[in-house]
Amino acid sequence: MEFIVVQFLTGLASAASLFLVASGLSIIFGVTRIVNFAHGAFYMLGAYVAYTLTERFEGFFGFWGGIVAAALVVAAVGALLEIVLLRRIYRAPELFQLLATFGVTLMVQDLVVMIWGPEDLVGPRAPGLRGAVDILGLAVPTYDLFLIVLGPLVLGGLWILFHRTRWGVLVRAATQDRDMVAALGVNQTWLFTSVFALGIFLAGLGGALQIPRNAVTHLMDLSIIVEVFVVVVIGGLGSVLGAFIAAVLVSELNAFGILIFPKISIVLVFLVMACVLIVRPWGLLGRPEGPARQPAGLSIRPWQPMSQNQRLVMLAVVVAAGFAPFVTGDYALTVLAEIAVFALFAASLHFLMTVGGLASFGHAAYFGLGAYGAAFATTMFGMPMIGSLLLGPLLGVAGAILFGWFCVRLSGVYFAMLTLAFAQIAWSVAFQWVEVTGGDNGILGVWPASWAASPAAFYWLALAVSVAGIVALRVLVFSPFGYALRATRDSALRSEAIGIDRSRVQWAAFVIAGTFAGIAGALFAFLKGSVFPDNLAIPMSVDGLVMVLLGGIETVSGAVVGAIVYKALAIWLVSQTDLSKLVLGAIIVLLVVAFPKGIVGFAEDLLARRRAKADDGGAAARTTPAKAPAKAPAATSGSGAAPIAAPKMEAAR
Amino acid sequence: MSAPILEVEKLSKSYGGVHAVRGVSFTLAAGEILALIGPNGAGKSTCFNMLNGQIGRDTGSVKILGRDTTGLRPREIWRLGVGRTFQITATYPSMTVRENVQVALLSHHRELGRLFGFAGARHRAEADRLLGLVGMRDLAERPCGELAYGDLKRLELAIALVNEPKLLLMDEPTAGMAPRERVALMRLTATIAREQSIGVLFTEHDMDVVFEHADRIMVLNRGSLIAGGTPAEVRNNPDVKAVYLGEGSVYGGEAAA
C-alpha cells in the first residue's frame, strides 16, 4: 500500500516536466498551427544550458537563477528560430513544417555533442531541497514534492496569463481565428514570436528542472518528444488543461506499468493513446479541426502516364543499372543494393503520401516488420531465402491491416501522430520482447541463399524486386483504384457524394503501401544479414519522408529519385564528416524553405516553363523529367511551398 | 401522375435547444422543379443535408423512389439515383475536367476497385457526352484546378448526371456566378430535367432564378414551411413578403400582372 502511494507520487513528479514541455507544444500549435518537432531539442538544450550554469554559479541563487536563466536563454534561441525559419513556412502544408522542425532537431543533436561531448552529465542537487520526506515509512525526495506542487502552479499561472491579460486574450483570439485577429489590426508577427518563445521557455524550463533527477544526455530529445506527442494527442492539441491531465495520466501509466506489466510498459501508454483517439479523435479536451489545409501531394498539373519515349528511356536506365556489377567493386554494389531497397521503400511511402494525401510518420513500422518477418522465417523456421522473402512481408501486411484500420479514421496532423505512435509500439515490442526479437541485440544470421550471396547476385535481385515494385506502384497510380485514392485526397465531400467509401479506399492504400514497404524490409534484412529495432524506429520513418520530399511530393515517381540522391548523399556524408546529422538537418531545412517541390518537381516546373515559352500546343517529344540534375537553391525563397503557386500548364498532348 | 420521386414527411432536426427544422413535409414528382427558399438560418441547408444523408434526422421519414433512406450514408443514397451539387463546389483540382467525370463514371460502374488498367482511357466517350451536355466539351483536357467558378458549377452538374439520377439535389446552384451564367445554368438544368424526367430540388437566394425556373416554390422560415405553391401564389403571399421577399419588389410581377 505504502509503496503504491510513493510510486504514485513519483509519477506525479515526472508529470510536472512532461506537462511543462507538452503545454509549450500545445500553446505553440494552438496559435501557429505548427507541430513543433524540435520541442524535444529545446527541452534537451534547457537541460544542457542549466547544467553549465549551475555548475559555474553555485549556491542557492546560483542554482535557481541558473535554472530560470537557462529557460530564458533557450527561449531566446527559440524566438530566433521562429524569426529566421518558421515565419517562412507558416502557410506551408503541415508535413513541411514537421519536417523542417525535425531538421532542426537533427542539427541540435550534433551541436549538443559538439559543445558538451557525448558523455552523460550529472547535474547538482537542488540547494534547499536535497533531503527526503518520510511518507508512510518510505522516503520521498523533497525535490519530487516540489515538482508535484510546481505543476498545478504553472497550470494556474498559464490560466491567469491567458484569461486575465490583454496578451492572453489576443492569443486565445488568434487560436480561434488567426485571420480575424490580423484583420483587427493586431501585429500577428510578434504575437506569433512571443507565443513561440513562451512555448520554448516552458520546454527549456522542463528540461532544466530535470537535472537534479536525471542525467543529461544527448538522446533525451527524441524520447521526450514521443512522450509529449502522446500527451498532447491524448489531451487534445491546443488545450493546456488537457495537456496537464494527459501528462498525469501518462506519467502514472509509466510509473505503474513498469511494476505491473514490465514487459509492455512502453506499449501501455500507446495503447491508451490509440483507445482515446478512437473514442475521441481530437483528444480528451481538444476541438475538432476545421477543414484541413491543402493536403500534401496535391498538384495543379494533372498527372499523365509515361509516353512511349519516356518508357524507353526508363528501360534504358534500368538496363544500364543492371550493368553496374561489370564496372564497380563489391562495396559499391552493396551500396547500390541498399539504394535499390530504399527506392522501393520511398516509393511505397510516396504512394500513401502523395497519391493518398496521407503523410505517415511511422512508415518504417511496415519496413521493419517485413524485415523481422523475413528474419523469423529464416532463423526460427529455417525457410530458404525465397520463402522468407515471400512470407516475411506478410508481417508488414498484417501490421498495416491492423494499424491502418485505426489510422485512416483520422487525417492531417492527427494521422501523422497516430502513425508515429503505432510505429513506436512496433519498435517497443521489438525492443522489449527480448526472448523473441533479441531486443537491442537484434537477430543475426539472416544470410541470403548461396546463389544470391555474391554482392553482384544480390544487387541484381534487389534491383529486380525494386524495379518490379516501383512499376507496380506506378501502374496502381493510374489504375481506377489510384483515381479513387486521389479522389479521396482531393475532396472527401465530393467522393462521398459519388459513392466512394473514403476510409475503405484509404485503408486499402495503407495496406498496399505497407506491403511494398514490407517487401523492401525483407530485402533489407538479407542485405544486412541481420535486423535490429532501429529498422522500425522514427529516424527510419523520417528518412523515408525526406526521400519523398527531396524527390518531389507533387510528382508521380519523384520518390525514387529522392531515395537515390538522399541515400547516396547520406552514405557519402557519413564517410566524410562526423557531423552528418548537422549537414543532413540543414539540407532538410533548406529543402523545405527554398526548394519545396523537390528535384523532380523542380525539373518539371522548368520543363513546363520552357514549354510555355515555346508556346505551341503540339510540343515535341518530352524529355524525361526524372533525370534532370537540378541544382538546389534555385526556387525563390519564402513560403513557396503552397502548390497553388505552380505555374499553370496545359495538359496538352 | 406516377408515384413521387421524393416523399418527405414530418422531417425534424434540432441542435441543442434550436429547432433547425420542424415538421417539414412535401413531395416531388418526376420532371418537376421545386425551389426551397427562405431567409438565412431558415433551415434550408439542414434540410438538404438530411435528404442527402450527410446529417442524421431526429424524426420524420424520407423516401426516395419509394425507398426509406433511414440510416443510409450519402454514398448509399447516391446509389439510389440521386445527384448532388454543392453550395461551395467540391471537385478534384488535381485532375482534368474529363477525369473528374470519369471518376464518377467509374464509381457508377463499380470499377474503382480495379488495381490495373489505365483509368484515363475508360468511359471517355461517355464523359465527353456529359461534358457536351453542359457545354464543356472543349474544356475536357483542362486542369480542374484552374477553372473559373462558373465552369466548376457546370462541371458539378455534369458529375451529378453520371448515374442517370432520378432526383437532383442542388444547393444554391448559381451562387457566386455572373447573372448571365445563372440564367444559362438554370435553363440547362430545366431542359435536362424535363427531357430525362428528373425531379429537381434546389435552394437559391437569387429570386430571378427561382421565379423564372421553379414549377413550385416552398418557403421555409425558422425551420417550418410557411407557404408553398406556384410562383404566382408564393409571390402574393403576405406571410412570405413579411419574412423574406419584402414589400417593395415583385419578382416577375409584370409577367403575372
pLDDT per residue over A131-186, tens digit each?
788 877 778 888 999 999 999 999 999 999 999 999 999 988 887 787 888 888 88
pLDDT at A294: 52
pLDDT at A141: 87
Higher-confidence residue of B219 and A139: namely B219
B14 plus B115 within the same structural domain: no
pLDDT at B253: 47
- Quick check: A447 and A526 in contact, CB under 8 A? yes
Percent of chain A with pLDDT over 90: 44
Percent of chain B with pLDDT over 70: 95
Q: What is the span of the domain harbouring residue B98? A: 92-150
Q: Which range scores top for mean pLDDT: A92-101, A203-212, A401-410?
A: A203-212
**Which among B90, B122, B163 has the least Cβ separation from residue A493?**
B90
Phi, psi of A323 (to 5 degrees): -85, 0
Give B197's contacts (C-beta < 8 A, 6+ positions apart). B30, B31, B166
Domain at A330-604: CATH code: 1.10.3470
pLDDT at A439: 85
pLDDT at A304: 82
| Rounded Cα gap, residues B214 and B184, in angstroms | 14
What digits encode the pLDDT tens for the residues A242-288?
A: 999 999 999 998 888 877 777 666 678 877 877 887 788 788 888 77
B40 plus B107 within the same structural domain: no
A-B contacts (CB, under 8 Å): 122
pLDDT at A378: 92
CA torsion sign for A644, A645, A650, A651 is: negative
Q: Where are the domain boundaries for CATH 1.10.3470 in chain A?
A: 330-604
Residue A483: list chain B partners with CB under 8 A. Answer: 95, 99, 102-103, 106, 112, 119
B146 plus B191 within the same structural domain: no
Please state at what angle helix A385-407 crosses helix A364-379, rounded to 10 degrees.
Answer: 140
pLDDT at A201: 97
Binning pLDDT at 50, 70 and 90, where does residue B54 land?
A: confident
Q: Which residue of A has its CA nearest to B100?
A: A487
Query: Which whole number is the average pLDDT over B134-158?
Result: 90
- Quick check: B206 and B178 in contact, CB under 8 A? no
Residue B142: list chain A partners with CB under 8 A. Answer: 650-651
B123 plus B197 within the same structural domain: no
B51 plus B105 within the same structural domain: no
Q: Does B247 touch chain A (CB under 8 A)?
A: no
- Checking if the pLDDT of A314 tops 60, the result is yes
Q: Does B108 touch chain A (CB under 8 A)?
A: yes
Give B42's contacts (C-beta < 8 A, 6+ positions apart). B220, B221, B222, B223
| Rounded Cα gap, residues B185 and A86, in angstroms | 45
- Checking if the pLDDT of A47 tops 90, the result is yes
The label of the residue with cell 453520371 reads B162
Q: Does A256 touch chain B (CB under 8 A)?
A: no
Higher-confidence residue of A114 and A434: namely A114
- Measured in angstroms, the CA of A371 and the nearest CA of chain B are apart by 26
Residue B19, in any domain of the structure = yes
Q: Which range scores top for mean pLDDT: A465-474, A537-546, B84-93?
A: A465-474
pLDDT at A617: 47
- Measured in angstroms, the CA of A649 and the nearest CA of chain B are apart by 8
- Checking if the pLDDT of A639 tops 60, the result is no
Interface test with B, best of A494, A504, A644, A649 (most B CBs within 10 A): A494
Q: Which residue of B has its CA nearest to A492?
A: B90
Give A233's contacts (C-beta < 8 A, 6+ positions apart). A273, A276, A277, A283, A414, A417, A418, A421
**Which among B92, B108, B159 has the least Cβ separation from residue A490?**
B92
Interface test with A, best of B92, B108, B111, B168 (most A CBs within 10 A): B92
- Checking if the pLDDT of A629 tops 90, the result is no
- Checking if the pLDDT of A109 tops 80, the result is yes
**Stretch among A263-272, A324-333, A411-420, B21-30 having the lowest mean pLDDT:** A263-272
What is the SS3 assignment for A555? coil
- Measured in angstroms, the CA of A303 and the nearest CA of chain B are apart by 7
The total of structural domains in chain B comes to: 2
What digits encode the pLDDT tens for the residues A322-352?
A: 999 999 889 999 999 999 999 999 999 999 9
Query: Which whole number is the average pLDDT over B230-250?
Result: 78
- Indicate yes or no: CB of B113 within 8 angstroms of CB of A300: no
Residue A490: list chain B partners with CB under 8 A. Answer: 91-95
B54 plus B169 within the same structural domain: yes
B220 C-beta neighbours (distance < 10 Å), count: 25
| Rounded Cα gap, residues A204 and A649, in angstroms | 48
- Indicate yes or no: CB of A479 within 8 angstroms of CB of B79: no
The secondary structure element, H or E, covering residue B35 is strand B33-37
Residue B196, in any domain of the structure = yes
CATH number at residue B198: 3.40.50.300
**Stretch among A283-287, A313-317, B43-47 having the lowest mean pLDDT:** A283-287
What digits encode the pLDDT tens for the residues A495-520?
A: 999 999 999 999 999 999 999 999 99
**Which among A298, A300, A479 has the least Cβ separation from residue B119?**
A479
- Checking if the pLDDT of A643 tops 60, the result is no
- Measured in angstroms, the CA of A489 and the nearest CA of chain B are apart by 9
Residues paired with B13 in a beta bridge: B21
- Indicate yes or no: CB of A491 within 8 angstroms of CB of B116: no
Residue ending a domain, among B125, B150, B175, is B150
- Quick check: B218 and B37 in contact, CB under 8 A? yes
Q: Which residue of B has its CA nearest to A304?
A: B120
Q: What residue type is assigned to position A379 of the chain?
A: T
- Indicate yes or no: CB of A483 within 8 angstroms of CB of B112: yes
- Indicate yes or no: CB of A302 within 8 angstroms of CB of B118: no
CA torsion sign for A267, A268, A271, A276 is: negative
- Indicate yes or no: CB of B119 within 8 angstroms of CB of A482: yes
Residue A491: list chain B partners with CB under 8 A. Answer: 90-92
- Indicate yes or no: CB of B113 within 8 angstroms of CB of A481: yes
Binning pLDDT at 50, 70 and 90, where does residue A443 land?
A: very high
A272 C-beta neighbours (distance < 10 Å), count: 17
Query: Which of A 259-288 lie inside 8 A of B, CB atoms?
Result: none
**Which among A483, A489, A497 has the least Cβ separation from residue B84?**
A497
- Indicate yes or no: CB of A478 within 8 angstroms of CB of B93: no
| Rounded Cα gap, residues A490 and A604, in angstroms | 21
**Which among A491, A496, A650 has the least Cβ separation from residue B74?**
A496
Residue A305: list chain B partners with CB under 8 A. Answer: 118, 120
Q: What residue type is assigned to position B156 of the chain?
A: E
- Checking if the pLDDT of A645 tops 80, the result is no
C-alpha cell at A515: 506491403
- Measured in angstroms, the CA of B110 and the nearest CA of chain A are apart by 9
The secondary structure element, H or E, covering residue A630 is none
What digits encode the pLDDT tens for the residues A535-556?
A: 998 889 988 988 988 888 878 7
Residue B155, in any domain of the structure = no
B99 plus B65 within the same structural domain: no
Query: Which of A 463-522 lie inside 8 A of B, CB atoms?
Result: 475-476, 478-484, 486-487, 489-491, 493-494, 496-501, 505
Binning pLDDT at 50, 70 and 90, where does residue A616 land?
A: low
A632 C-beta neighbours (distance < 10 Å), count: 12
B182 plus B250 within the same structural domain: yes
A161 C-beta neighbours (distance < 10 Å), count: 15
**Which among A300, A478, A501 has the least Cβ separation from residue B118?**
A478
Phi, psi of A446 (to 5 degrees): -95, 75
pLDDT at B251: 54
CA angle A142, A221, A43 (to 5 degrees): 55
pLDDT at A649: 33
Binning pLDDT at 50, 70 and 90, where does residue A638 land?
A: very low
- Indicate yes or no: CB of A651 within 8 angstroms of CB of B78: no
The secondary structure element, H or E, covering residue A338 is helix A330-350
Query: Which whole number is the average pLDDT over A74-90?
Result: 92
Residue A500: list chain B partners with CB under 8 A. Answer: 75, 107, 112
- Indicate yes or no: CB of A479 within 8 angstroms of CB of B95: no
- Checking if the pLDDT of A627 tops 70, the result is no
Please state at what angle helix A330-350 crosses helix A538-551, rounded to 10 degrees.
Answer: 80
Give A544's contacts (C-beta < 8 A, 6+ positions apart). A345, A346, A349, A363, A364, A367
A72 C-beta neighbours (distance < 10 Å), count: 17
Residue B159, in any domain of the structure = no
pLDDT at A137: 78
B142 plus B21 within the same structural domain: no
**Predicted ipTM?**
0.90
- Quick check: B15 and B178 in contact, CB under 8 A? no
**Which among A298, A475, A497 has the least Cβ separation from residue B93?**
A298
